[in-house]
Structure 1
Amino acid sequence: MMSGGNVTWQSVKRLCGIFCCPPCPSRIAAKLAFLPPEPSYAIVDESVGGGRKKLILKEEAEWQYSDRELECIEALTLRTSRQQTIAAIFIHCVPDAKYTILFSHGNAVDIGQMTSFLVSLGSRLHCNVMAYDYTGYGCSSGAPSERHLYSDIEAAWLCLNKRYGLCPQNIILYGQSIGTVPTIDLASKYEVGGVILHSPLTSGLRMAFPDTKRTWCFDAFPSIDKVPRITSLVLVIHGTEDEVVDFSHGQLIQQRCPRTVDPLWVDGAGHNDIEIFPQYIERLERFINIDLVVS
């Protein structure tokens, strides 16, 4: 056994085969995480000169509502600090909403496929919702990378502040799966209204090698080292039978966060079905209507 990491020489060879040699964090991230689907939507200019934009959903988006709800969705394109143009939507779910949820989606989907879910989520929680596509996803330009994740969410964050005039205390950050990576990074820099981490991962290397006990210099997505810097109230959600991100990741994230509420451990839930359990929406409602009020 190698000292300090509980990694055998056979594991080291496998590590190099997966991650490349010498290891490169951006390549680790690309091989572990990024699976952008074919775009399920388009964004078109409604007026001459490129003013207001409109979201056009394709069949793959599986839109479940009427044109009336679709009119409540504002399509946007944002420029990131890394010179990429990313697609985003702002969903006006309820008038005079106290909170707006900044939603960072999971892997292998884009904001078109998430639109129906986000409309339902915002309506149930009486919140407006902003979601964005990562670089290389949907109608966003470029190729995905870990660094782009951080600049992507920063662009969405700045848009909420400058375009919509929202204060940090009125924004709830919600990250799902790979979306917890940029969410945790942003939450470690700003105090916000609240943070929701849905099936979070601790780091890329810990995903591939569960016995990893430390963060190596070539590790990707080192969220576990960032969560101690989050000053906002955090709700962690995880399924006990998660086949993609092991339940232990959520437990460790919960332990490392300085300010957490009672987590939601969904017994029997996997990685992609937590939302169908009734306790999911009930816990979110309690977090917004009770936990954030008394904190």
Structure 2
Amino acid sequence: AMNGLSISELCCLFCCPPCPSRIAAKLAFLPPQPTYVFVPDSEAGGASVGGGGSVRGAGGITGTTARWKLQLTERAEFQYSQRELDNVEVFVTRSSRGNRIGCMYVRCSPGARFTVLFSHGNAVDLGQMSSFYFGLGTRINCNIFSYDYSGYGVSTGKPSEKNLYSDIDAAWHALRTRYGVSPENIILYGQSIGTVPTVDLASRYECAAAVLHSPLTSGMRVAFPDTKNTYCFDAFPNIEKVSKITSPVLIIHGTEDEVIDFSHGLALFERCPKAVEPLWVEGAGHNDIELYSQYLERLRRFVTQELVNRRN
């Protein structure tokens, strides 16, 4: 037994979150109340796709595509104008596990070489992330493609580890086919729990690069920091997959991370043969790295210099 827990109790902890332990609760999926819906982009009517609840204060703010437009609630806290939202395309695709996955393409930078396939953190959805995507894409001169995990936003099904892997596969496939973006121009970016599907995909496909922002080594190691080995029932085993990534990997971690300890970023860096110079943000926690000036500086250098000058 480890930390006084039997194997069966440990299995239960990962198969049936949330569990009472405060530490293990960090691993439970926490989809927020949806902050957006997709409404039909024609006067022809038809039901909208999305969570319940009224869409208050959206003020007719919409991003258009042929079929759907994005409608945000006040909770999305979107800080940009109608003009920016006109550069958002939203649509629904289906995963191999049968779930409907909401996707968002943010055209920040016409003519940009790279598109970032962004896998967001645990307690947010596309509506809440949309402002951040505009800010990030504009500043690092990339377009941003993102999706909601099963059970988040307009995506159907329940969040689970297996669904995470099929969710990002569906997003990758949609980005490749619908927008014709080739793998050497796709940067996979994962934040927190989003590093799990990102590492999985990057270990299977060659792409321009992978960015791992506040990554975890594995579920067991978050819940029980003394864990040395990977158990068959462990969840999210990034530490076992990261060595298979053939693209350049940029790891970013705050030294004072209170959710996923800084040691996780260090361990992944050591295990990753393709790691570039990492960014350890002195004093940053789990949710505030973006507020430090080094964050954008390091990303900009990675995208505009290191990736562009890379010899294939």
TM-score scaled to structure 2, two decimals?
Answer: 0.87
Q: Give the distance between the partners of 1:141 and 1:188, measured in 2 at CA.
A: 26
Counterpart of 1:27 in structure 2 is 16
Q: In the alignment, does 2:34 pair up with 1:39?
A: yes
Match of 2:94 among 75, 79, 82: 79
Q: In the alignment, does 2:111 pair up with 1:128?
A: no
Counterpart of 1:179 in structure 2 is 194
Q: How many residue pairs were aligned? A: 284
Query: Match of 1:294, SS?
Result: coil
Q: Give the distance between the partners of 1:233 and 1:41, measured in 2 at CA.
A: 34
Q: In the alignment, does 2:223 pair up with 1:208?
A: yes
Per-residue CA distance 1:163-207 (angstroms, 9 max, x = gap): 011110000000000000000000000110111000000000010
1:27 Cα deviation from its structure 2 partner? 2.9
Q: Give the distance between the partners of 1:16 and 1:26, measured in 2 at CA.
A: 10
1:35 Cα deviation from its structure 2 partner? 0.4
Query: Match of 2:97, SS?
Result: coil
Counterpart of 2:82 in structure 1 is 67
- After superposition, the Cα gap between the structure-2 partners of 1:45 and 1:275, relative to the gap in structure 1 and judged at 3 Å, is same
Match of 1:280 among 291, 295, 307: 295
Q: Give the distance between the partners of 1:105 and 1:283, measured in 2 at CA.
A: 19
Counterpart of 1:293 in structure 2 is 308
Give, as a single letter, the amino acid of the residue that structure 1 aligns with 2:221: R
Q: Does structure 2 retain, via aligned residues, the 8 Å contact 1:26–1:145?
A: no
TM-score scaled to structure 1, two decimals?
Answer: 0.92
Counterpart of 2:162 in structure 1 is 147
Give, as a single letter, the amino acid of the residue that structure 2 aligns with 1:270: G
Structure 1 unmatched runs, 5+: none
| Aligned ranges 1:92-107 → 2 under 5 Å | 92-107=107-122
Q: In the alignment, does 2:286 pair up with 1:271?
A: yes
Counterpart of 2:63 in structure 1 is none
Structure 2 unmatched runs, 5+: 20-24, 47-65
Counterpart of 2:175 in structure 1 is 160
Query: Match of 2:121, SS?
Result: coil
Q: Give the distance between the partners of 1:144 and 1:26, measured in 2 at CA.
A: 12
Query: Match of 1:268, SS?
Result: coil
Give, as a single letter, the amino acid of the residue that structure 2 aligns with 1:66: S
Counterpart of 2:264 in structure 1 is 249
1:29 Cα deviation from its structure 2 partner? 8.4
Q: Give the distance between the partners of 2:233 and 2:18, measured in 1 at CA.
A: 10
More helix, by proportion:
1
Q: Does structure 2 retain, via aligned residues, the 8 Å contact 1:29–1:220?
A: no
Give, as a single letter, the amino acid of the residue that structure 2 aligns with 1:41: Y
Counterpart of 1:91 in structure 2 is 106
1:88 Cα deviation from its structure 2 partner? 1.2
Q: Give the distance between the partners of 2:28 and 2:193, measured in 1 at CA.
A: 7
Per-residue CA distance 1:85-138 (angstroms, 9 max, x = gap): 011100011111100000000011001000000001000111100010000001
Give the root-mean-square deviation of aligned CA atoms: 1.7
Q: In the alignment, does 2:255 pair up with 1:240?
A: yes
Per-residue CA distance 1:7-61 (angstroms, 9 max, x = gap): 34x2x24x754652xx7x5435896230000000010111248752100010000
Q: Give the distance between the partners of 2:185 and 2:94, measured in 1 at CA.
A: 23
Q: Does structure 2 retain, via aligned residues, the 8 Å contact 1:132–1:156?
A: yes
